[in-house]
Amino acid sequence: MALVTTAEVCDANPQLIVSGELRALQPIFQIYGRRQVFSGPIVTLKVFEDNVLIREFLEEKGNGRVLVVDGGGSLRCAILGGNPVVQAQNNGWAGIIVNGCVRDVDEINGCDIGVRALASHPVKANKKGIGEKHVPITIAGTRICDGEWLYADTDGILVSKTELSV
């Protein structure tokens, strides 16, 4: 399959944008990791300043999926660090989107996985294991549901209700 950019997908599918089947996330995320272009089915997670459930997910086989984490937009600590990202890379996850912060940026940038986050922060997260798995979340002005598809490149991030055939 030829590489198609998110901009080309938007240009080719105006009717999907109008209907809400295809949504673009607001451009608030920084790009981390070596894989700048990635896509896959979405797994959703909602946490706040706690990374236990994130680590649990990334210990599973990713099978090309993308973990989308609503971290409440917190800029007070990092909910994703280098070790879980290495594990995600090794377990076959395509990418991780974090509505929150990451740390160990140099380690993350050495991994062959796509990571998007609001910023980096040196303080680690809590470890209480509180959160919700596979629930609808709203980040970057967009409602995202478990099982939808995510497409990311250097132009931005798209979410589609179904896998796009391009």
Residue 62 annotated as lining a ligand binding site: no
33 contacts 108 by C-beta, under 8 angstroms: yes
Q: Which residues pair with 156 in a beta bridge?
A: 153
Residue 81 annotated as lining a ligand binding site: yes
**Token pair recorded at residue 98:** 């974090």
φ and ψ of 56, to 5 deg: -60, -45
Cβ neighbors of 51 (< 8 A, separation 6 or more) are 79, 80, 81, 84, 124, 125, 126, 127
Burial class (CB in 10 A: 0-12, 13-18, 19+), 112: exposed
Residue 103 annotated as lining a ligand binding site: yes
Residue 65 annotated as lining a ligand binding site: no
Residue 82 annotated as lining a ligand binding site: yes
Q: Which residues pair with 101 in a beta bridge?
A: 78, 119
* Binding site members: 81-84, 103-104
* Binding site members for Mg(2+): 104
* Binding site members for substrate: 81-84, 103
